[in-house]
Structure 1
């Protein structure tokens, strides 16, 4: 028990410093994983890489990232999020720096595989930190503070990496600098993050009281010490809804991330500079939307609405508005309106960040990171599949993006249905 500050003092806010670090980690996470795409034309020319080899280098990250999600969750549950996050960050920084030392395609693939595996633990460990450090009225804010780093990283990463490559006249130096910076961030994470609020000397009794509020309610806590399979401790209906819903959401998000620039260039006839600027606007809108959705959800809960109703209401609105935006895009007559509509779609789509509040709401605390890893694996599978699906649709339709947008609209329908299947009546 901490005894540093009296309970009558103003509550400290260490929990939000921790989630600020998680936000920064996810921003850097997205920049590091996307940097290879920005540098690939230069790398391919210097190393004489074939198109197939370029594809293998780009996709290598996602295979190990997906495969390591559940093991990463098990590791975070067993050894705690502090060590898991800090070691993961140092390893992915080293992997990023190694990219700058590679001299052929095989070496690049190896570094990318290592990068995917080492980045995998961040989100599962973040889900466990949500369960440990936040009360039930703060879970959505914690979830979106972590996940919002993704769209902000996507928005800023391309511009930042391109400018660094131009400034240093070297993709190798850029990757090495990025890797070293990430390693330093790993040491910061180890300094700030704690596995238990009562072990943090900076947390006072007033903040501990806020953290404990409602944490002893519900079957998730009662099952803390139970053994048995996860399906014994958690509803199959909720688990299936969460996994399929997250996969559908990821297809829309990664669809925008991977094929959005091609849509802007091909369907809207934008030049490269305009594509970069429009992409930044669209994903900045997504980052702001993520934060707004989470804070609105927690505000509704604080106002008396149940957690189940507030989450499902906002996520259903998100899915329906995203559905309407994708369905309407083929009929929008001008470029400016299309970019505005895509930005609006990104804004409400990123309310889906609230999915990261589900593992701590539904799973026993001893299994939160494992469930988070399963959910992120489902999202990663969607991220792996959607580039292939979109490419297949474009080949079948002669390059038309209209059927692609209709497919994204269908994903929004699945997202809404699966979200409403999740049983949150006993969520904590």
Structure 2
């Protein structure tokens, strides 16, 4: 870990403004992924869809999202972040808005898949932004803050989304969500810049970031990006420690996907809760996950600054979090609403603890392949979104949700095993060519 105590404190802190922008972007990103879960109960009745069909609807986003993670990572490495994010955010917001006008299962599948296409480069881009703007000893905290956007945003937005649907219907819910994204795409274009191109960032802050391991350089207008090499693609899949991260991300994603898709349906249809009440109860696990990811990120950076090894500071929160996520199984053994929400909240708190996993891409990926490696990482993680919603649809088709929760808990246990035994030493990988 880089030690840069000799560098003077920066006279500006523009990196935090950038982090706030990434945070809001993540909130909107997950709003457009998860609004389908709020709309699902009414949509299923209105369009006459079965549980199995809803499983495919929930899964459709991940079909394209997962498959395009590696191309998305390559694109993130090669295209200017300001332009790329503006375009993809505008496109996925338009697709979200159009969902408010669908009348068929096929059209719904197509639109969900198109959102997956346009959101594919988003998380590799988020990771690139933080890797450029933050020194290594602040990076886990930065990743925790922007990752928490998916949890805090949904915690507060879920009751709001439920209220919007209650008054405007599920179609109005999609239209409002799409308009919000279009507005933010314009704001991103106006205000985002990379460190070397930001006119208001001080020289001392640039030095602070660079001396601390921030990976940025100011390119001249004539400088061209290196061309993609197929050898780079091979490198992203030839290391055991990277496969440990990939498997762990799949397992992390399984719990997240349950909460982003089937969770409201579970509360309303399988636990018999009132729809409006379920919106407020659904916020509790998201708040728990928000607390988990912030605790994880700030504790991890604190331990690094106190001299603890990277293995302890970075891996311990993730390993503990994966174990806690298995608590989701406890909801099968109670009919008390309080204890159902408690078990689910503890499980999602653990998921939050483990959600700083992106820091390993920042620390371990080859320097010129951070976007590509991040794409591979999110590709494997995104496969959870393909498999899990459909699997749950089949598991619950007979009206019993218990097997689905056992399924999610078992995958979380696999994640614990992967991070504990496969990842190994945390160190930057030097390509073998």
CA separation of 1:240 and 1:54: change in aligned 2, threshold 3 A: closer
Match of residue 360 from structure 2 = 358
Q: Is the alpha carbon distance of 1:86 and 1:334 closer, same or farther for their aligned partners in structure 2, counting shifts above 3 Å?
A: same
After superposition, give the CA deviation of every residue in 1:106-130 in whole Å (9 maximum; x if it has no partner).
4444333322211221101111112
1:149-203 deviation digits (Å, cap 9, x = unpaired): 2223333343223323444x355454334323211211222233223x1211111
Determine if the alignment matches structure 1 residue 63 to structure 2 residue 63.
yes
- Residue 137 of structure 1 aligns to a residue whose secondary structure is helix
Shift of 1:40: 4.7
Which region of structure 1 is more displaced relative to structure 2, 335-344 or 82-91?
335-344
* Aligned equivalent of 2:96: 96
Corresponding residue for 2:140? 140
8 Å Cα contact 2:65/2:119 also seen in 1? yes
CA–CA distance in 2 between the matches of 1:233 and 1:282?
A: 34
User: CA offset at residue 100 of structure 1?
Assistant: 3.3
Aligned equivalent of 1:290, options 276, 290, 293? 293
RMSD: 3.0
Could you tell me how far apart the structure 2 residues matched to 1:21 and 1:210 are?
Answer: 21
Give me the whole-angstrom Cα distance separating, in 2, the residues matched to 1:53 and 1:234.
34
Aligned residue in 1 for 2:316 = 313
The aligned counterpart of 2:13 is 13
Change (3 A) 1:44 1:341: closer
Q: In terms of mean alpha carbon deviation, does 208-217 or 311-320 score higher?
A: 208-217
Q: Distance in 2 between matches of 1:272 and 1:99?
A: 21
Q: In 2, Cα distance between the equivalents of 1:45 and 1:118? A: 28
- Residue 426 of structure 1 corresponds to 427
Equivalent in 248, 253, 272 of residue 275 of structure 2 = 272
Query: Aligned equivalents of 1:40 and 1:374: distance in 2?
Result: 30
- Residues 129-157 of structure 1 show CA distances to partners (whole Å, capped at 9, x for unaligned) of 12211111112112222222222333334
8 Å contact kept, 2:331–2:339 = no
**Change in 2 beyond 3 A, CA 1:45/1:417:** closer
Aligned to 2:220: none
Partner of 2:219: none
Distance 2:271 2:53 in 1: 30
Please give the alpha-carbon distance, in whole angstroms, between the structure 2 residues aligned to 1:90 and 1:273: 30
Equivalences for 1:165-176 in 2 at 5 Å?
165-167=165-167, 169=168, 171-176=170-175
Give a deviation string over 1:315-366, Cα, whole Å, max 9, x none. Answer: 112122333x235444457332332232122112211211111212111232
> C-alpha deviations, 1:48-107, integer Å up to 9, x for none?
555477665544322222222111111110113222212111111222222334455544
TM-score where L is the length of structure 2: 0.84
Secondary structure (helix, strand or coil) at the match of 1:270 reads coil
**1:194 matched residue in structure 2:** 193
- Residue 83 and residue 67 in structure 1: after superposition, are their counterparts in 2 closer, same or farther (change >3 A)? same
Equivalent residue, structure 2, for 1:220? none
Q: Relative to structure 1, is the Cα distance of residues 97 and 275 closer, same or farther in structure 2, using a 3 angstrom cutoff? A: closer
Give the whole-Å Cα distance in 2 for the aligned partners of 1:135 and 1:201.
19
Offset, 1:38: 3.0
Between the aligned partners of 2:92 and 2:18, the Cα distance in structure 1 is 20
Residues 235 and 20 of structure 1: CA distance in aligned 2, closer, same or farther (over 3 Å): farther
Any stretches of 5+ residues in structure 1 without a counterpart? Answer: 1-6, 218-223
| Structure 2: gaps of 5 or more residues | 1-6, 216-224
SS in 2 for 1:426: coil
Q: Deviations over 1:206-260 (max 9, x none)?
A: 211221134289xxxxxx9897435547861112111111101111222243333
What pairs up with 1:228-239 in 2 under 5 angstroms?
Answer: 228-232=231-235, 236-239=239-242
Q: For residue 281 of structure 1, what is the aligned residue in structure 2?
A: 284
Query: Which residue in 1 is equivalent to 2:221?
Result: none
CA contact (8 A) 1:30 1:157 kept: no
**Does the CA contact (< 8 Å) of 1:243 and 1:375 recur in 2?**
yes
Change in 2 beyond 3 A, CA 1:102/1:328: closer
Q: 1:425 and 1:67 mapped to 2: Cα distance? A: 27
- Cα distance 1:212–1:8, how it changes in 2: closer, same or farther (>3 A)? closer
The Cα shift of 1:301 comes to 0.7
Q: Provide the secondary structure at the position in 1 that maps to 2:261.
A: helix
Counterparts in 2 of 1:152-171, with a 5 A limit?
A: 152-167=152-167, 169=168, 171=170
Shift of 1:404: 3.5
